[in-house]
Amino acid sequence: MGLLGRMLARADEFRRAPRVVVYEPDNLGHGVAFGADLESALINLPAGRMSMDPGDPDQFARWLDAAGDAYVPRQVFGEYLVDEFWRAVGQARALGWTVDVVPETVAALGKGSANELLVRTPAGVRSFGQVVLGVGSGTTADPYRLSGASGYVVDPYPLAATLPGIAPRSHVLVIGTGLTAIDVVLGLLHLGHDGRITLASRTGILPGPRPQIMPLDPKHLTIDAVRRFESLGLGDVWELLKLELASAGFDADTEISWLLSSASATERLRYQLDRLDAAPIQSIFENLETPVPPMIRAALSADEMLKVAFDYKPYLKSIQCPMPPVSARKLLAVMDSGQLVVAPGITALRHRNGRFEAVARESVPAAEVVIDATRLSPRRTKGRARGLLDSLSAERLASWNSFDGLIVDPRTGRVVAAAPYRLFAYGEITAGELYYASSLPAVVRGANVVAAELVRHDNEVGS
C-alpha cells in the first residue's frame, strides 16, 4: 500500500522508467483493513491523518469532502485507496513507466542468478532485480485451539459476513480487547445484538479514545537529549518523560499512574473520555521527532526491551492504537448498562456441552458464541503470506528479531539477511509484536524510505 505513490512523488529523480509488477489476488488498492464491511467499522484516525500523500495531508479529507476531524467507515477510506491506486497507475503509465497488476498470490521467493530474485506464483516464475514485501498484518491466533468448535468464529472479518448469523440474545465472548474486539462489539450493536458481550483478555486493557493532540514541542525527549546518554536505560526514558510532562504543565506522577493504572476498563475509559482535551502523554508521543523512538529502542538493553514488551506494551498500545471517541462513548454506554463486560485475567477457554466456559479473574457465564479477535505477528501468520514467509527462511533471505520483526535497515527498508539480493519490506512485518508500525501514516513512511532507496539505486546503476 502506498509504494507506487511514493515512487511517483520522486518521478523526476528516476533516470530510467521503473517497471513495476504488483501481485495482489483480491484486495487491490484497499488491502485487508479497508474492504467492504459494516459501516460501524470506522477508521481509527481522523480523516486529516489518513492522507496517502504526506506532502498533502488534507488529500483524503478533500476527497471525502468532510472535515479533517471526521472518523469515517473504513470501507469509505478503501474507496479512496482504490481511487488513489488507479490514479497512480494512470500517472505512472503516462510517464512511460510499466505497471502490471497480477491477481495472483506469491507462493515463494527464491534466489536466481546475477542477484535476481525469483517470484513463484501458481502461474509460473518471474525474475526481478528488486522485490518489496508489503504483506500486511498477521491472522488470528486461535489461542485456545477451538477452531472447528460449533459457535467458534475463527476470524471476525468481514464483520458483514460473520456477525449477522449470531442470535441476537446469545452471550458472545470475544477473545481480545484490542481494536478488532472493539470492531466486533460495535458491529454486534449495529446489528441490534441485545445479549451479553464479554471481552476477555489477559490484561483487560482497552484501546483508549483518541484525544485531541496538543501541539507540544518536546524539550527533553529529543534527539540531542537521547544522544547525550552514554548508555540509556529505561529509568532514564521515564525521567525524560516526567520532565516533558512537567514542562508541559502537567503533574507527571498523576499522568503516569493513570497510564499504568490497574483501574477497571470502565474506570479507565470514563477517565480518558473526561480528558480528551488534556492527554499530555499521547500528545508528547505524537510530537516526538521521528528518529527518537527508534533511537530509544536501539539504546535499550535486550532485557529492558523485554520489559517494555511484556510489562508496558499493553498500556502503551492502548494509547498508540486508540479508538475514535464516538466508539468509546458507545462502549462506555453498554458497559454502564451491563451489556458489555470486560473480563481480565483469562487463562483458559473450553468448549463443553455446546457452550464455551472461560476461566478468568472473575467468573464468566458460559457463552454460546466465541469470536477470536486476537492477532498473530505477521511472521506467524496462517494466511496468504505463509508460503512466501516459509520460503524466506528456506532460502535464508530473512532474519528476525526476538519480537518477530523482520530485520531491515531502517535507512533503506532493505531486508538485511537477503543482501546482496535487493529485497525490501515495510509495514507491520518489520515491527513484529513490539511496535505499532502498521497504522497508515507509519506504512506510508515505510513506503517512502523504500522509494528513496529505489531512486538512489536507479541513479547509481544508471550513472
Ligand X SMILES: Cc1cc2nc3c(=O)[nH]c(=O)nc-3n(C[C@H](O)[C@H](O)[C@H](O)COP(=O)(O)OP(=O)(O)OC[C@H]3O[C@@H](n4cnc5c(N)ncnc54)[C@H](O)[C@@H]3O)c2cc1C
Which chain residues interact with ligand X by CB under 6 A? 1, 23-25, 27, 31-33, 43-45, 74, 105-106, 134-137, 157, 180, 384-385, 388, 427, 438-440, 443
Query: Rounded to the nearest whole angstrom, what is the least distance from the CB of residue 180 to ligand X in the complex?
Result: 6
Which three cell numbers mark 349? 477457554
Q: Tell me whether residue 84 or residue 255 sits nearer to ligand X (CB atom).
A: 84
Q: Taking the alpha carbons of 386, 388, 392, 397 in that order, is the dihedral positive or negative?
A: negative
> What would the DSSP string read from start to end of 301-334?
-HHHHHHIIIIIHHHHHHHHS-B-HHHHHHHHHH
Q: Tell me whether residue 182 or residue 305 sits nearer to ligand X (CB atom).
A: 182
Query: Rounded to the nearest whole angstrom, what is the least distance from the CB of residue 277 to ligand X in the complex?
Result: 22
Strands 172-175 and 197-200, bridge-based pairing: parallel
Q: Tell me whether residue 20 or residue 33 sits nearer to ligand X (CB atom).
A: 33
Q: Tell me whether residue 279 or residue 388 sits nearer to ligand X (CB atom).
A: 388
Q: Taking CA 101 as the corner, what is the angle to CA 15 and CA 379, rounded to the nearest 5 degrees?
A: 95
Q: Tell me whether residue 14 or residue 60 sits nearer to ligand X (CB atom).
A: 60
The Cα–Cα gap between 270 and 73 comes to 24
Query: Rounded to the nearest whole angstrom, what is the least distance from the CB of residue 155 to ligand X in the complex?
Result: 10
Query: Rounded to the nearest whole angstrom, what is the least distance from the CB of residue 92 to ligand X in the complex?
Result: 18
Query: Rounded to the nearest whole angstrom, what is the least distance from the CB of residue 153 to ligand X in the complex?
Result: 14
Q: Tell me whether residue 24 or residue 395 sits nearer to ligand X (CB atom).
A: 24
Residues whose CB falls within 8 Å of the CB of residue 273, separated by 6 or more in sequence, listed in order: 209, 325, 328, 329, 332
Q: Cell 523512538 maps to which residue?
A: 293
Q: Tell me whether residue 195 or residue 293 sits nearer to ligand X (CB atom).
A: 293
Q: Which of 184, 134, 185 is nearest to 31 (CA)?
A: 134
The Cα–Cα gap between 417 and 420 comes to 9
The Cα–Cα gap between 158 and 453 comes to 36
Residue nearest to ligand X (CB): 31
The Cα–Cα gap between 142 and 356 comes to 14
Query: Rounded to the nearest whole angstrom, what is the least distance from the CB of residue 233 to ligand X in the complex?
Result: 32
Query: Rounded to the nearest whole angstrom, what is the least distance from the CB of residue 147 to ligand X in the complex?
Result: 19
Q: Tell me whether residue 44 or residue 448 sits nearer to ligand X (CB atom).
A: 44
Q: Taking the alpha carbons of 41, 43, 46, 47 in that order, is the dihedral positive or negative?
A: negative
Query: Rounded to the nearest whole angstrom, what is the least distance from the CB of residue 230 to ligand X in the complex?
Result: 36
420 prior amide bond cis, ω within 30: yes
Q: Tell me whether residue 136 or residue 405 sits nearer to ligand X (CB atom).
A: 136
> What would the DSSP string read from start to end of 183-221?
HHHHHHHHTT--S-EEEE-SS-PPPPBP-PPP----SSS
Q: Taking the alpha carbons of 164, 170, 176, 179 in that order, is the dihedral positive or negative?
A: positive
Query: Rounded to the nearest whole angstrom, what is the least distance from the CB of residue 386 to ligand X in the complex?
Result: 8
